Amino acid sequence: MWQAISGDALHIRFWNDEFVVYNSLSGDTHLLGASAAHILLKLQHTASDVATLAASLASLMQAEMDDEFLSQTEQLLAGLGKLALIEHS
């Protein structure tokens, strides 16, 4: 299960389909595309597991929910985790 880090720490703005996120805990600023942002925003709302997130993302991107897609969702989550934007709950 994943969740976003404390809501107070994340500051988000977007223009068109791209998001800039400032993490006041790390002091880092990130540029996120639509899928990473979608995941982050969802996780800010509720903790979720990979499968749920992948399904939601597949729906957003109108893509086939196959193993490949699931694996890529996992990679995306790992990436966000590495940047300390999300964590395991």
Partner 1 sequence: MNVSALTHSELGFRLGKAGIFIQTGSFITHLQTSIPGVAEGIGLLYADYPLLEQADFADFHVSLAPPRNLRRWFKPQVLFFFDGHPPFKPLPLDQAFPMFEWGLNWCVSSQANRYLIIHAAVVEKGGHAAILPAPPGSGKSTLCAALVNRGWRLLSDELALVRVSDGKIVPLPRPVSLKNESIDIIQQYEPDAVLSRKVSDTMKGTVAHMKVPAESIARAAETCRAAWVIFPKYQAGAAARLEALPQARAFMRVADNAFNYSLLGVKGFEAMAGLIDASLCYDFTYSVLDEAIETFAVLKPPAI
Partner 2 sequence: MNIKDNQSSEMENTPLAHGLADQTKPAVDESRRHFTKSGLAVSGVLLTLASRPVLGAVQCQSPSGFISGNVSATGTPQECSGLSPGYWKNHPEAWPSPYKAGTCSAGCGQASNWTNVDATMFVAAFNCSNHGLIYAPYTMFEVISSGGGSVDPQELGAHIIAALLNARKLLTPVLTEPQVINMFNEWNLNGYFEPTAGVKWYGEDIVEYIISTFDD
Q: Which residues bind partner 2 (CB under 8 A)?
A: 16-18, 26-36, 57, 61-64, 66, 68-69, 72-73, 75-76, 79-80, 83
Identify which of residues 65 and 79 has a Cβ nearer to partner 1 in the complex.
79
How far apart are CB 49 and partner 2 at their closest, in Å?
17
Amino acid identity at 48: S
**Within positions 17 to 36, which residues make up the interface with partner 1, using CB under 8 A?**
18-20, 22, 24, 27, 29, 31
How far apart are CB 56 and partner 2 at their closest, in Å?
13
Cα 49 to Cα 80: distance, rounded to the nearest angstrom: 14
Cα 53 to Cα 26: distance, rounded to the nearest angstrom: 25
How far apart are CB 13 and partner 2 at their closest, in Å?
14
Cα 88 to Cα 69: distance, rounded to the nearest angstrom: 20
Bridge-based pairing state of the strands 10-15 and 2-4? unpaired
Helix (H) / strand (E) element for 41: namely helix 34-45
Interface positions with partner 1 (CB under 8 A): 11, 13-16, 18-20, 22, 24, 27, 29, 31
